[in-house]
Amino acid sequence: MRQFVALCTRGVYTKRQIVAFWSLGGGKVGVKDRPVARRILPLGNERDHGYTIVKVASANGVKVELHDLGGTGPHMLMSHANGFHGLCWKPVAANLIKRFHCYAHDHRGHGDTAAPKDWKVAWSGYAADATAAAKAVAQKGGIIGVGHSMGGATLLLTAMKHPELFRGLLLYEPILFPDDVRRPANRPNVLAEGAARRKPSFKSLDEAIKNYSSKLPMSHFTPEALEAYVQGGFRKGDDGLMHLKCSPELE
């Protein structure tokens, strides 16, 4: 178990804390929860990261981008934090592919999964995306879910409704609060304010990497982790600039 935890956290943060490992019952996954052609549209390797991509149907007409990061063994689904995307897990998957078949998805509004027009941000939507991805990679005996922050919470929400999909969950800083803990309505949200100030555009990806590597928290990322975030987190606009796929406002 210690070796597994070390592998899952290597290369992403300097301070590592595994918050929860939730072992679920070993229920069997039904045929209806297995990937079928009508629910998955293979797109091939048309993007430069070289991994297989599929689109999975989620709620509200969303098509979830699901990345097959390769490997052999039990299926592992990696669920990203708010403001990030599935390909941020590339450096982690690189340490696991000899023991696990790794997948990662983009939640709506992140990476290459578009959010519905005028969609009001809600946990139910993000949870639906994680559920769609988990069902797409389902296997007998359950998969292993790995989640960070928002991604940890969406896996938990999925597991609450579909425990048979998982054999276990490994979560880093999942967003969980006791029922008696509530944020006062007028209390500032430091994280939200910081995200709103995030620079949304750069002249190049190299400029973005240089900018982020000098500021917390990304200055703590390994070069591989930061490059994975930038490579998968920007798209070129008509103005020639590189723009964040997840807007600061949504984050």
- Read out DSSP for the chain? -HHHHHHHHTTT-SS----EEEE---PPPPGGGS--TTTEEEEES-STT--EEEEEE-GGG-EEEEEEEEESSSEEEEEPPTT--GGGGHHHHHTTTTT-EEEEEEPTTBTTBPPPTTPPP-HHHHHHHHHHHHHHT--TT-EEEEEETHHHHHHHHHHHH-GGGEEEEEEES-----TT----TTS--HHHHHHHTS--EESSHHHHHHHHTTSTTGGGS-HHHHHHHHHHHEEE-TTS-EEESS-TTT-
**Degrees to nearest 5, angle at CA 235 with 229 and 237:** 150
> For residue range 184-231, what is the model confidence (pLDDT) as tens digits?
667 776 666 766 677 889 999 999 999 999 988 899 999 999 999 999
Nearest to 153 by CA among 136, 135, 137, 129: 129
Considering only residues 6 and 53, tell me which one the structure prediction assigns the higher pLDDT: 53
Q: What is the pTM of this model?
A: 0.79
Nearest to 16 by CA among 160, 172, 164: 172
83's tokens:
């403001």
Q: CA 105 → CA 12, 65, 91, 114, distances in Å?
A: 17, 6, 15, 12
Q: Does the N-terminal peptide bond of residue 217 adopt cis geometry, omega within 30 degrees of 0?
A: yes
Euclidean distance between CA atoms 208 and 251, whole angstroms: 18
- Concatenated DSSP letters for 165-188? GEEEEEEES-----TT----TTS-
Domain ranges for the chain = 2-176
pLDDT of residue 13: 30
Regarding beta strands 63-71 and 75-79, do their DSSP bridges make them parallel or antiparallel, or are they unpaired?
A: unpaired
| Pair 39, 136: CB distance under 8 Å | yes
pLDDT of residue 124: 96
pLDDT of residue 87: 97
Sequence length of the chain is 251
| pLDDT(49) > 80 | no
Nearest to 140 by CA among 39, 27, 40, 35: 27
Q: Tell me the percentage of the chain whose pLDDT exceeds 70.
A: 74
What superfamily would CATH give domain 2-176?
Alpha/Beta hydrolase fold, catalytic domain (3.40.50.1820)
| Pair 200, 212: CB distance under 8 Å | no
Mean pLDDT calculated for residue range 161-175 = 96
Euclidean distance between CA atoms 221 and 84, whole angstroms: 13
Mean pLDDT calculated for residue range 74-98 = 97
| pLDDT(81) > 60 | yes
